[in-house]
Structure 1
């Protein structure tokens, strides 16, 4: 595989040139030439991946040269674009631009890239010549291959895990093959658990044959068959030339002669492996079993929809393992117990991390040494790359597609231990150019596929899920975080600057801790090569910097594309208004309006504004309808949008409007924003619902709308609000609907039942009033029902009303006497959560017990716990 970062740089350069050739006037000829040689280089890089010579020393030198040259080319083009934009603003676009110095620079860069092309061609030619030499392969007679493990020592906390898997192996279908996958992130102890189970004496009574096969990344079907065959027949030389079908039949013959067979497949990466191994069980009536370990949840679920997901160690278990590996059979000295538990906690429940850190502590009894390790737990992971943690992470990283490699490394821009909002991560991936467009999919859909892939491979941890099952926040385990930081730094993807000078050839993205920001800005940095500037903080209140310090950020990075500084109190400046390359802006401040100058950011894709103003709305003065790249607009108070200057021309590509004032939802505005998928409207809803100036009727312009929120701001309403009779026709495409403080009568809720695509329905803060609800119709597609702060006392419903309901959430429904017992008859109902809804607890338990009596699972969570031995259940 060619270097992912190099390919990313070249592809982004090609895209930059292609998209902007028309804007640069007389530079077109030079840029066309640069485009041509860059395309040639991309072709040679693809050859490098094909012929596999990217690990040579000559290649490594070339990679550095490519980085530097492509970065300089990018800088030159971006400077051209800024000048062109400035001329355009002065209405002098008709002039013929003549910037001899910059034209010469572009011409020289094209020559440099051509020189690199020649070197790559020579390297390719040399390697092709080497490949022409025939290579004779010999099968080893005694081939024993083993994957990485935590040695054969018993690992603390695995007894319960082993017993659960053994129970599934022993029980289950008696006359067919059953597969039990064990899945988890690198270092969690999958192989160690499999070894523990493989060696368990209980299995020798249950299985006639127990076969261990290490698979790994490169294993072919024939290799797997030969390894299985070796268990039944010591000398397999006669079979080395057999094809896979012959080998499968031979193994099947041995299995048929004996009793139940268990095959343990360690470290499976591809689902084809399962298909291959299933072929050896020609006779399936004995209850044979396959157990497998894998890092990939997709592969695990291909084998069995309910894999065994290996848990993280508890803190006490981590400490016990740490003591075992440091002191052997001895105990931990009392003075080291407290610091030892702190260290164990920082290992994040991953046994491999505990083992590595124990290695750094072994033989050290001085408390100061343990305190030093405590301060540098994460750094210790990077110091042992060759024999432990990061090496195993790299195996997963190398197996990723190039696009996913870049997205994974990019997760390291967030601080360690940071809960990453998935929507923000996806927007940033797109703004950074990490997601490449493909036909039939939006960039957001492609990014979601990539995130799902990383989650399935256990490279990213799910922290919170949304009610519809989508991932809300995620996080990198410290071990994976350290890998991302180390690998990204090696590949010049991003860096955390210190007091040293920024290297213009390598430093393109800066991640700065808020505590270091003032010191950094005091150096008066000036780095036009920087494209992204990040400053994240988990604190709610923005950090105050002086106006001069804020302005330094604008002035220092004139070619910036990504600015994410929500942790700072931001102000606008003249230099900020000239950051024409900005694609992503996330800022906080005391904003009362979005100034007209934002209309000049023609590359802007995502705008996130958090204001502390006391004004009820944020007035948008910028001509946002001219921003043809703008896809997502987020504000923490309702935005008042301007009317489009023209109703003709290209519609906006806005997908998210969160949130807007009701009075902004005029027909011409929504017609221009016809591609919006997520819309949040907040304000006084009476006029809007009453169709004043079209009001709610204008929603019919949004033919792509999937998520809709209506939040009524008025606490005391004299006039009763009503859902329009034609509501379902106006928003017929909606999949997720949230109503807050609208105070409709419960009798009107049936109007929502006609929304044929509605999957998630949330009633918050007295969305409906009254003490009784009995739906007359059904919600045919509804999977999640959420009722919060309701006056509801009595509720009648059955499977007819909610045929596919999966999750029910009741929060602060203090007066609700009971959950309808008939909901127990809904086959799909898997989860119920009750918070501060004490009167209904008894009925909820009855529903749970009824489901259990039918051998159906129901997770019941009650908060605060009331007479529950274990919550959630």
Structure 2
């Protein structure tokens, strides 16, 4: 009965959302009309308002009926809501005090990772070998493999590295293309005309004379190995392929059993140790909880994923026998799939504000590498993120992401730097299947693809993801009430799909078209009718022009045209008051634009701005006074010449910046004194021709908050001096192709926080100096000569 009641509430909420959106749409459309059309449309307005009024009356009646039903049948959901519906500072402190998921992985796999790594780098075995990591789902195959892949000794031993995710649904061409991009740094403008035979030949050519390491992750069938494996040459250079699979037949087909490493279910003592380290900061279970905790662990049957998931759930519970016994009672030991039972329990336990965020993950394709910033922007655009005092929505969303990670519902693939924000993440197959199942029951989403295609989208689903199109599937008839459309199918030609902006998409809040074939290289002018749109993703499309009507999207928060061929942008963009993230760096032939903007028109909440060289902002006082107007700005990327001295540079950079990326700026004076004084700067990237001088001096106490530093393609950069006390919190240093840099400053060795140093394309003299200097900690340095 409770399920029926909840479904009625959900349908009522959807209908209420429709009424509110219809009213907002009506008001905005009237606001945009000129006076003549407003007069002519008076009668129509009255009819629209009467219709909306009737809808509201119907919703009020249904609300009373649903409330009466709850009273009649004495339905009580207050306990579960109270238990899971709050985010407290106490819970946040608890999660911060325990080991992170990554730290747990290191402790658990350290011995195995060293064993497999030693097998990979055996110098006396020059023949290419395939090492197979075998284990059932949830054992940690990919986690162990990624730990090995990212080790300094592995990075330094192999000249070339590539990681390919296969999974159940794959396209051979896409896999080969991914590998080629990683080993050759090439990025073909058009992929459609490339054949599998061509890609195989290119891989052979680029790898033939190199010692390479390739990971082929999550292989389900022997056919997949046969289709991919032959592309990697037997070159007698000591090359290795690591293959992960759940299927022993696949492993036996790919390599002899002597090269197999099979992950085992955990023994009782190891299960207990993993559980305690996950749940308790001290790693020790309190005496009063030992018996019930042992019973919880026993129900996990030695499966690591189940242990860390239920541990993540218990962290948020009171440390009492009663609270833990309630969790234990909900785990059915007799269930044919106890892991799924535990995962479902963990989902049920989620606070309400996290459930939508979790279900949203089901929209992404299997094993998809999700950029964390993209996910956060989507969550904010969808309205999932609750206001929390004066904090930015993106900061709250980042906390949501970290909480799902600590609950082991999301896997971190890469952080921007050790201990820093998430860079990319993914969802385990088990969790993704659960998200899709729950989301479809709630009419939360629908997926158009080979595996998950259904017709529920024709009725009430709010979100649609297109992964592929089969000839017998017709996408023209999907309902007009969906709020989000995300397309992950690069061969999808949207011009062949009759997307009617006036009806089928008028309620859209999110339109994500990254990588798809657009309408004859341009967006139709009708895009301006999507006045409720919050998010427009056009990255890496073949787009050449933005229509001026885009200026009507006054609720837009994110506009992303990176990697397109757009040569100019409508000036009306700068008057979109709700813009928070604006990505304008494209690969098109740029038309120079001088944009006159008044201070009053600027989007005051702008957090991210990526600005190309063809746009020059003029507010009457020049560039130096432009960026400081964005007093919330955190991420700034400039690809343009800045004819500024240090005084002017200092005055044009807001103190709120946490991330700065400069390229082609041609700064003639050492900018490090100015940049080092930015109080919140955590990430700094100085790219090609950003600085054209010979010397940089990082002064003491400079860059106090810097965590990540990248210096790339600085052709004249010969000497780098770092004073004691500079960059005290630096964790990751990356230097690429600064060919005339003579040596690394010895003072960098004194930065205790430094975890990684990566050197690519540096002079032989510098590399030799570092390798021969005993004072350098070689375990943190990656070389690529």
Specify the TM-score bucket, using the shorter chain as the normaliser.
0.5 to 0.7
| Counterpart contact for 1:790–1:812, Cα < 8 Å | yes
- Counterparts of 1:296 and 1:125, CA distance in 2: 28
CA positional deviation for 1:116:
1.0
| Counterpart contact for 1:750–1:777, Cα < 8 Å | no
CA positional deviation for 1:833:
0.7
Whether 2:755 is the aligned partner of 1:830: answer yes
- Counterparts of 2:387 and 2:297, CA distance in 1: 33
CA positional deviation for 1:451:
0.7
| Counterpart contact for 1:740–1:767, Cα < 8 Å | yes
Equivalent of residue 225 in structure 1, options 274, 287, 291: 287
Alignment map for 1:464-863 (pairs within 5 Å): 464-467=414-417, 469-497=420-448, 502=456, 505-516=459-470, 519-521=473-475, 524-525=476-477, 527-537=479-489, 539=490, 543-546=492-495, 549-552=497-500, 555-566=503-514, 567-570=516-519, 571-573=522-524, 576-587=527-538, 593-609=545-561, 612-613=564-565, 615=567, 618-622=568-572, 625=575, 627-637=576-586, 663-664=594-595, 668-669=598-599, 672-683=602-613, 693-712=621-640, 721-731=643-653, 732-745=655-668, 747-775=670-698, 778-781=701-704, 782-791=706-715, 792-839=717-764, 840-845=766-771, 849-850=774-775, 859-863=780-784
Give the secondary structure class of the aligned counterpart of 1:622: helix
| Counterpart contact for 1:784–1:808, Cα < 8 Å | yes
CA positional deviation for 1:624:
5.2
- Counterparts of 2:588 and 2:389, CA distance in 1: 33
| Counterpart contact for 2:371–2:424, Cα < 8 Å | yes
Q: Return closer, same or farther for 1:395/1:692 CA change in 2, 3 Å cut-off.
A: same
- Counterparts of 1:698 and 1:216, CA distance in 2: 48
**Structure 1 unmatched ranges of 5 or more:** 1-57, 129-156, 165-184, 200-209, 231-262, 269-291, 303-383, 641-658, 714-719, 865-873
Q: Return closer, same or farther for 1:569/1:193 CA change in 2, 3 Å cut-off.
A: same
| Counterpart contact for 2:733–2:757, Cα < 8 Å | yes
Deviations 1:703-731 (A, max 9, x none): 23333322236xxxxxx944332433442
In structure 1, the residue matched to 2:2 is: 59
- Counterparts of 2:679 and 2:398, CA distance in 1: 25
Q: Return closer, same or farther for 1:61/1:708 CA change in 2, 3 Å cut-off.
A: closer
| Counterpart contact for 1:762–1:785, Cα < 8 Å | yes
CA positional deviation for 1:482:
1.5
| Counterpart contact for 1:660–1:682, Cα < 8 Å | no
- Counterparts of 1:763 and 1:428, CA distance in 2: 28
- Counterparts of 1:467 and 1:163, CA distance in 2: 22
- Counterparts of 1:834 and 1:301, CA distance in 2: 40
- Counterparts of 2:372 and 2:274, CA distance in 1: 39
Q: What TM-score comes out, normalization by structure 1 length?
A: 0.56
- Counterparts of 1:861 and 1:74, CA distance in 2: 53
CA positional deviation for 1:408:
1.1
- Counterparts of 1:545 and 1:751, CA distance in 2: 47
CA positional deviation for 1:832:
0.7
In structure 1, the residue matched to 2:25 is: 82
**Structure 2 unmatched ranges of 5 or more:** 79-107, 116-136, 144-262, 299-305, 317-333
| Counterpart contact for 1:638–1:683, Cα < 8 Å | no
- Counterparts of 2:731 and 2:564, CA distance in 1: 39
In structure 1, the residue matched to 2:181 is: none
- Counterparts of 1:297 and 1:388, CA distance in 2: 15
In structure 1, the residue matched to 2:411 is: 461
CA positional deviation for 1:118:
0.4
In structure 2, the residue matched to 1:317 is: none
- Counterparts of 2:676 and 2:110, CA distance in 1: 49
Deviations 1:283-329 (A, max 9, x none): xxxxxxxxx97449999999xxxxxxxxxxxxxxxxxxxxxxxxxxx
- Counterparts of 1:733 and 1:65, CA distance in 2: 46
Alignment map for 1:56-205 (pairs within 5 Å): 58-90=1-33, 91=35, 92=38, 95=42, 97-99=46-48, 100-124=50-74, 160=111, 188=140, 195=267, 197=269
Q: Return closer, same or farther for 1:660/1:834 CA change in 2, 3 Å cut-off.
A: farther
CA positional deviation for 1:413:
0.4
- Counterparts of 1:833 and 1:300, CA distance in 2: 39
Give the secondary structure class of the aligned counterpart of 2:709: strand
Deviations 1:172-200 (A, max 9, x none): xxxxxxxxxxxxx965499987636569x
| Counterpart contact for 1:216–1:266, Cα < 8 Å | no
CA positional deviation for 1:683:
1.1
Q: Return closer, same or farther for 1:464/1:576 CA change in 2, 3 Å cut-off.
A: same
Whether 2:341 is the aligned partner of 1:420: answer no
Q: Return closer, same or farther for 1:776/1:692 CA change in 2, 3 Å cut-off.
A: farther
| Counterpart contact for 1:818–1:842, Cα < 8 Å | no
CA positional deviation for 1:475:
0.9
| Counterpart contact for 2:559–2:583, Cα < 8 Å | yes
CA positional deviation for 1:121:
1.6
Deviations 1:758-795 (A, max 9, x none): 33322211322344445566524133322111233343
Alpha-carbon RMSD: 4.7
More relative contact order, 1 or 2 (CA 8 Å, 6+ apart): 2
CA positional deviation for 1:447:
0.8
- Counterparts of 2:678 and 2:77, CA distance in 1: 62
Q: Return closer, same or farther for 1:846/1:452 CA change in 2, 3 Å cut-off.
A: farther
**Which is greater in Rg?**
1
| Counterpart contact for 1:671–1:701, Cα < 8 Å | no
Q: Return closer, same or farther for 1:112/1:661 CA change in 2, 3 Å cut-off.
A: farther
- Counterparts of 2:275 and 2:623, CA distance in 1: 66
CA positional deviation for 1:433:
2.0
In structure 1, the residue matched to 2:221 is: none
Deviations 1:462-481 (A, max 9, x none): 22332583222211122221
Farther off after superposition, 415-424 or 800-809: 800-809
| Counterpart contact for 1:460–1:477, Cα < 8 Å | yes
- Counterparts of 1:158 and 1:434, CA distance in 2: 36
| Counterpart contact for 1:592–1:613, Cα < 8 Å | yes
Q: Return closer, same or farther for 1:121/1:605 CA change in 2, 3 Å cut-off.
A: farther
CA positional deviation for 1:604:
2.7
Q: Return closer, same or farther for 1:267/1:779 CA change in 2, 3 Å cut-off.
A: farther
Give the secondary structure class of the aligned counterpart of 2:389: coil
Q: What TM-score comes out, normalization by structure 2 length?
A: 0.62
Deviations 1:356-405 (A, max 9, x none): xxxxxxxxxxxxxxxxxxxxxxxxxxxx9742432232233233222112
Q: Return closer, same or farther for 1:461/1:838 CA change in 2, 3 Å cut-off.
A: farther
Q: Return closer, same or farther for 1:838/1:581 CA change in 2, 3 Å cut-off.
A: same
- Counterparts of 1:758 and 1:127, CA distance in 2: 46
- Counterparts of 1:819 and 1:431, CA distance in 2: 44
- Counterparts of 1:681 and 1:737, CA distance in 2: 12
| Counterpart contact for 2:623–2:652, Cα < 8 Å | no
| Counterpart contact for 2:583–2:611, Cα < 8 Å | no
